[in-house]
Amino acid sequence: MSQSTDTCGAHELFQPGAGPTSAPPTARVLGAAAVGNLLEWYDWGVYGFLITYIGLNFFPSGSSSATLMMTFAAFGAGFLMRPLGAVAAGWIGETHGRKDALLVTLLVMAMGTVPIAFIPSYQSIGLWAPLLLLLCRLLQGLSTGGELGGSLAFLAEWAPARHRGLYVSLQQASTHGGTLLGSAAAASLNAVLTPEQMNDWGWRLPFLAGGALLPVALWLRFNIDETPCYLAAKRGAAAASVPARELARAMGLIAAPVACQYLFFTYMATFAVRYGGLTEAEALGANTAALAMLMLCTPIMGAASDRFGRKPLLLAASMLLLLAAGPVFASVASAPGAASVLILQALLAIVVSMLHGAGPAAVTELFPTHGRALLVSIAYGLGVALAGGFAPLAAIWLIDRTGSPAAPALYIAAACGITAWSAARMPETAQRRLA
């Protein structure tokens, strides 16, 4: 199997009779990566959209702010496990292959998701309820910590250099698709069930649905081939050293897209109910529509980054969001109505898609094939844990401390400033051959 002169890991590397597949397995590669990743992020994200009901069922009653903070603390605790999951899955990806790592992350996610549907409430078993919920959330964190880096490396190593941004952005699009499904499931249930039914048993249904989809995703991933880039590197030289600044730069590129994801498209549903006067169904409906926009625009921006470069999109989006965050939160808090909130979130989705379209490709291109799965996993595991895991909790704390509903904009501004700084100092990597 000969290496292409313009890219490592592109599906053009396949030659008839050269391996287990004689034709470019593009559809199977994309399907295995996208469907599995979609399920991962559905399972991970649905917790955030059902946060109110989870808080009522698993934590002792008290002030609404305290209950919400405890529930978001459990949400954030899963992020603490993501660096560990990143190291574990990254090690599997380097020693046993990208395919095996992706299979393991799916199995661990199932172990952390399905049991949530069956945990009795705090009123039934006391402190065991939040402890069991926390255990499940930690397992979910292990899984998603490994999924991000593994799937990004997998797609980057299959992609032709001239379309790597598009290919890799599909991972982010499927991430948004999974989050969209979670939001849509929560919105649909809120529309057809009464609040009492949702609190009693309705909130459990989306977690059961995630388990039902697992066999399809496992079958898709079991029937794919290892990336040619990984196979070639395995036969090649020893791992190249990676300067610490590259890892720090990658984490910086991750800060803004992660903070925006969790504040604009997860926490915003809770914020719009609490401060914007929307009902649960209205807030989740607007959030679902915005996530659909984000999912559709991300591959477009990934393709744009192939043509115009990663840096221009990253810089432009970071600066726009830094300036817009304050007015956005203030506007939603002024109770403008569901239609206005939907329009605001849709506009945010277009800008944030620039970060999600260009960023993942830029991060994967910073690292060599030897170590890519591990290093990308670590960068995302640490970056997401630091910038995203406790973003909703930080937003609640900032509002309580300042008394201003617009205070979460400070968190967004800090994250966008870090990403803009990192993008300004990185080399342009679009269409560059993978090392």
Domain ranges of the chain: 25-227+243-425
Q: Is the pLDDT of residue 417 over 50?
A: yes
The answer to whether the pTM exceeds 0.85 is: no
Q: What mean pLDDT comes out for the span 218-241? A: 71
- Structure letter (DSSP) for residue 3: P
Residue 24 has pLDDT above 60, yes or no: no
- 67 band by pLDDT with thresholds 50, 70 and 90: low
pLDDT over 80 (residue 239):
no
pLDDT band at residue 62 under the 50/70/90 scheme: low
pLDDT (0 to 100) of residue 68: 67
Mean pLDDT of the 91-113 span: 86
- Using alpha carbons, select from 103, 104, 114, 89 the residue that is nearest to residue 219: 103
Q: Dihedral through CA 182, CA 185, CA 186, CA 191, nearest 10?
A: 160
Q: Can you give the pLDDT at residue 25?
A: 47
Which helix (H) or strand (E) element contains residue 262? helix 244-262
Closest residue by Cα to residue 26 from 170, 146, 148: 170
- Helices 244-262 and 391-402 meet at what angle, rounded to 10? 70
Query: Thinking of the domain 25-227+243-425, which architecture would CATH place it in?
Result: Up-down Bundle (1.20)
Whether 128 shows a pLDDT value over 60: the answer reads: yes
Percent of residues, the chain, with pLDDT higher than 90: 34
Residue 387 CA to residue 35 CA, distance in Å, equals 26
Report pLDDT for 35. 80
- Average pLDDT over the chain, rounded to an integer: 84
Residue 22 has a pLDDT of: 37
Say yes or no to pLDDT of 20 above 60. no
Q: No. of H helices and E strands in the chain?
A: 19, 0
